[in-house]
Structure 1
Amino acid sequence: MKGFDVTRFRELPIIGILRNISFAEVMELLPLCAEAGLYAVEITLNSADAPRIIEEAQRRYGSILCIGAGTVCNLPDLHVAKEAGACFIVTPIMEPDVITACVSENLAVFPGAMTPTEVAIAWKLGATQVKLFPAGRLGSDYVRDISAPLAHIPLLATGGIHRGQMEDYWSAGANGFGFGSPLFPPSLIVNKEWGLTAVHIHEYVTTLQHVMSGSKKKGEIG
């Protein structure tokens, strides 16, 4: 299993989140992600057959994508993710045991946090980047307020954000994004509109590239 390349992720800091998408559909989506320039793709553990999907995704596309496990809520979940070959871990909550276990094994981890205290603790424990969740409901002003005293902590804004909001969140202090259904529209996937899906993913990538090129940011992943 290869490690998580922080430098490469920083060049295009998007984690594509695949939740409740079938094995066959995931295998169609992964090459589209790679072609668009994405690096990190997360398979959530609460998806049917998630360990098998992660394992096969690593086998087929591990040389061009970094396949991680999401919705990792406890140490048993972490064990499942590691056994499947996940190269990074994403949690919906700030679970110290999971963070410290990942750090001890040099496994990249993006722990979920909402409050300033949770964000600060997750970073202190060794998070690769802190997943601010649910960022869409909290709003870009919330990101700005948190970033003011915690500018040294890189935030992955996740949950309910769409392409048109990226610039607002980025300028507010977000250092990356986690996108689920906004990046992978269920209507396109169900109808197997792979060409349109590819265009849609590419639009997200080019939007973030444009936003990043016009902005000088605060912190970097450390």
Structure 2
Amino acid sequence: MTEKLFTRLSEAPIVPLVQSNDPEEAVAVSKALLGGGLQVLEVVLRTEAAFDCLNAITNAFPKALVGAGTVLSAKHAEQAIEAGAKFIVSPGLNEGVVAMAKKHDLPILPGIATATELQTAWNMGLRTVKFFPAGLAGGPKMLKALSSVFRDVRFMPTGGVNAENLMDYLDIPAVVACGGSWLTPMEAIQKRDFQAIEELSRQALNIQNREK
């Protein structure tokens, strides 16, 4: 699964965050994102119906790579896996979450913001992490510094990434993908303007493709 995930990310290195309290809405948002050309989705566990949304999306789009984000505990990870998550993303580094993902042989991207956290992750055998919150934790300059020391680690910066600074991150060789919520603006979702979300996805991919 890990190889499949990174193959998809090499083709479309942008991971949108899907947040909803309504499974039907979550499916509609996901359909728009996939329609725009994105191949990997992260459903964040920030609402009461998050697991239902995750399950609805994985059932609606079985060929898509759909993971769970904002996974805070081993129990969260287990529930997400039961709901169909194909990878796990956490805002921080937690041994229980990492162990649960490894138990099920799923990719795990724990959040790190400092060299100490990254060194801890490295010594746990992890070689791909989430850099979060990217904008507040030093942005591209911090990532360049970390990747110069941890030369075999790949990063997914999330938090403060947008269309304007996307390539500042993707131009760093150690960055495998960028995550973010700018592709799923709440205003568009509330208006059920899913076409706008599809267009934002397409524009993000066009930015990345133009810079290749």
- Determine if the TM-score, normalized by the shorter chain, exceeds 0.5: yes
Amino acid across the alignment from 1:86: A
> Could you tell me which residue of structure 2 aligns to residue 189 of structure 1?
189
CA contact (8 A) 1:96 1:122 kept: no
Q: Which residue of 1 aligns with 2:109?
A: 110
Matched residue, 1:162: 162
Could you tell me how far apart the structure 2 residues matched to 1:126 and 1:9 are? 21
CA distance in 2 between counterparts of 1:127 and 1:120 reads 10
- Structure 1 window deviating more from structure 2 (131-140 vs 18-27): it is 18-27
1:72 corresponding residue in structure 2: 71
Q: Deviation per CA, 1:79-109: give whole Å up to 9, x if none.
A: 1111111111000111122113312321111
Aligned to 1:37: 37
Partner of 1:46: 46
1: distance between equivalents of 2:126 and 2:202?
28
Contact 1:157–1:177 (Cα < 8 Å) also in 2: yes
Whether the 8 Å CA contact 2:169–2:178 is kept in 1: the answer is no
Which stretch has the larger CA shift, 90-99 or 15-24? 15-24
Structure 2 runs not aligned, ≥5 long: none
Which residue identity lines up with residue 130 of structure 1 in the other structure? V
**What per-residue deviation string (whole Å, max 9, x for no partner) do you get for residues 49-103 of structure 1?**
111111111111122x111111111111111111111111000111122113312
Q: Which residue of 2 aligns with 1:174?
A: 175
Runs of 4 or more, structure 1, over 3 Å off, are none
Kindly provide the CA deviation profile for residues 132-158 of structure 1, in whole angstroms up to 9, marking residues without a partner as x.
000012222111221221232101010
Return closer, same or farther for 1:33/1:143 CA change in 2, 3 Å cut-off.
same
Query: Structure 1: how far apart are the matches of 2:51 and 2:127?
Result: 23
Are the counterparts in 2 of residues 158 and 177 from structure 1 also a CA contact under 8 Å? yes
Q: Residues 124-181 of structure 1: CA distance to partner in whole angstroms, max 9, x if unpaired?
A: 424462000000122221112212212321010100111110121223443310111x
Aligned to 1:97: 96
Q: Is contact 1:156-1:178 (8 Å) kept?
A: yes
The two structures, once aligned, show a CA RMSD in angstroms of 1.8
What is the alpha-carbon distance in structure 1 between the residues aligned to residue 122 and residue 29 of structure 2?
A: 32
Aligned-residue sequence identity (percent) comes to: 25
Partners of 1:68 and 1:86 within 8 A in 2: yes
Q: Does 1:15 align with 2:15?
A: yes
Q: How many equivalent residue pairs?
A: 208
Q: Distance in 2 between matches of 1:183 and 1:25?
A: 15
| 50-59 vs 117-126, which moves further | 117-126
Residues 126 and 32 (structure 1), Cα distance of their counterparts in 2 relative to 1, 3 Å cut: farther
Secondary structure of 1:67's counterpart equals strand
